[in-house]
Amino acid sequence: MRLLKFYQTSIGKKYVVAISGGGLFLFLVAHMLGNMWVYGGAEEIDSYSHHLRTFMEDFFGYGGFLWVARIGLLVFLIAHVVTIILLAKQNRRAKPKYQHRHKSARTLASMTMMISGPLILVYVVLHILQFTTGTVQPTSYEQGAVYANLWNAFQVWWIALIYVVMMGFICLHLYHGIWSMFQSLGINNQDRNDSLRLISTISAVVIFLGFSSVPTLIWSGALPAPEATEATQQHVMVESEDLIAQTEGEHHEP
């Protein structure tokens, strides 16, 4: 009950935004570093993906740890987006006569926060449906073949473009979010504000370049096409055998 009352205050909401945002930032860093295995080729990133699926398998089951992490991510993201919306409404009700002030100090990042939040939430869901479950598949998909799935998807220009544009939104949101987190936690002051803004900028730029480099380099042809996986090779062999059998059958017809 006390936690609910604290959450209903402006300070409580700011803490929820800061904590959930910090958790999302750590996830982005871990996810970006994981994506870097793509530069080692299909074997490296597919092996990394397999390791994640078997991590703590005895406790969570195969792939269970990843689903716990994904559910946690969605909870953090929903809490983050909803609380920002509630906080913005609460601030407008509390200070309606000051809404016109300090407009010159507003940045592109701060002005797009209310738009980027819901967009990012939708993007994360679609991203999971495309690259994790394979439910939404505009291109060919094979479970466990991470490199091939990424390469096939980002050969399509509009998929690569959407990915890069959304990373732009995420990193604009991230820049403003990190700076706001410093403010919410009371870390900022006149002596260190420049350093904190620099940290926010560098963090957002590094995350953007790390994630966007993958679709950009795949679409441009800088990363090689994947070799046929074992499952694909078996499928081709079966099709070839069926074709040979069909041809031989036609030859034996009277």
Indicate the DSSP class of residue 40.
G
Measured distance CA(54)–CA(220) in Å, rounded: 33
Mean pLDDT of 67-73: 88
Highest mean pLDDT: which of 18-22, 38-42, 142-146? Answer: 38-42
Q: 228 by DSSP, 3-state: which?
A: coil
pLDDT by residue (tens digit) across 13-34? 888 888 888 888 899 999 999 9
**For the residues of 56-122, what is the DSSP string, one character each?**
THHHH-TTHHHHHHHHHHHHHHHHHHHHHHHHHHHHHHH-GGGTTTTGGG--HHHHTHHHHHHHHHH
Upper half-sphere CA count for residue 56 (Cβ side, 13 Å): 8
> CB–CB of 174/113 below 8 Å?
no
- pLDDT over 80 at 196, yes or no: yes
Q: Beta-carbon neighbour count of residue 29 at 10 Å?
A: 14
Mean pLDDT of 31-53: 92
**pLDDT the model gives residue 239:** 45
Domain boundaries, the chain: 2-93+108-249
Mean pLDDT of 157-167: 94
Whole-model pTM?
0.75
Q: Which residues contact 143 (CB under 8 A, 6 or more apart)?
A: 134
**pLDDT the model gives residue 246:** 57
Question: Predicted confidence band at 42 (pLDDT cuts at 50, 70, 90)?
Answer: very high
**Which of residues 108 and 42 earns the better pLDDT score?**
42
Instruction: Give, in order, the Cα–Cα distances in Å from 193 to each of 174, 182, 200.
Output: 17, 9, 10
**Which of residues 8 and 233 earns the better pLDDT score?**
8
**pLDDT the model gives residue 210:** 95
**Which of residues 1 and 37 earns the better pLDDT score?**
37
Fold of 2-93+108-249: 3 helical TM bundles of succinate and fumarate reductases (1.20.1300)
**pLDDT the model gives residue 113:** 64
- pLDDT over 90 at 2, yes or no: no
pLDDT by residue (tens digit) across 89-122? 887 777 655 444 444 445 555 566 667 777 887 8
